[in-house]
Structure 1
Amino acid sequence: MCRNIKPLFNFEPPATRNEMHDAALQFVRKISGYNAPSKANEAAFHEAVEDIEKVVRKLLKSMETNAPPRDRDVEAAKAKERSRLRFGT
């Protein structure tokens, strides 16, 4: 799957609408093969992004967990360290 789509569930603060939109956009780009659709496909492309964003919001609202919320800064630091170990400085 697309590496640019980040987990959005169980974070403090919760995922923003922008983050959900960006994830939906990346998903549609990956599935369609278009970074930017042609004029002929533009309406369908944007409609798909909106539909997926709505589903993402619904999913995140309905999910439950007993785990404590993760801290975005801590998770970002972990990802940066993994990247450093994988690719060097």
Structure 2
Amino acid sequence: MCRSIKTLRAPYVETVTPDDVRAAALQYVRKVSGFRTPAAHNREAFDAAVEAVAAATQQLLDQLVVRGRA
């Protein structure tokens, strides 16, 4: 997949910021769409996809249970 998307869960990172989540979502949408920067007529769809992926990513991170941590 996209090697520039870093792992965002513990123990790989201590804290995850909204900017980290959005950056990962942006990289994912760029990879899937094939656009680094979409044309004006695709901007709304592109931005909506980034927001949806970011929300899903945050939900996933919020629900993950990492065992073996003190």
- The answer, yes or no, to whether TM exceeds 0.5 is yes
Q: Which residue of 1 aligns with 2:44?
A: 43
What does 1:26-65 correspond to in 2, within 5 Å? 26-65=27-66
Mapped partners of 1:22, 1:29: distance in 2: 10
What does 1:1-89 correspond to in 2, within 5 Å? 1-10=1-10, 11-12=13-14, 14-68=15-69
Gaps of 5+ in 1: 70-89
More strand by share: 1
Deviation string, structure 1 residues 38-59 (Cα, Å, up to 9, x no partner): 0010000000000000000000
| Amino acid in the other structure paired with 1:19 | D
Deviation string, structure 1 residues 2-23 (Cα, Å, up to 9, x no partner): 01000001121x2110000000
Task: Give the deviation of 1:65 after TM superposition.
Answer: 1.1
Overall identity of the aligned pairs, in %? 38
| Amino acid in the other structure paired with 1:17 | P
> Aligned pairs, how many?
68
RMSD, aligned CA = 1.3
Look at both structures and tell me which one has the larger radius of gyration over its CA atoms.
Answer: 1
TM-score, length of structure 2 as denominator length: 0.92
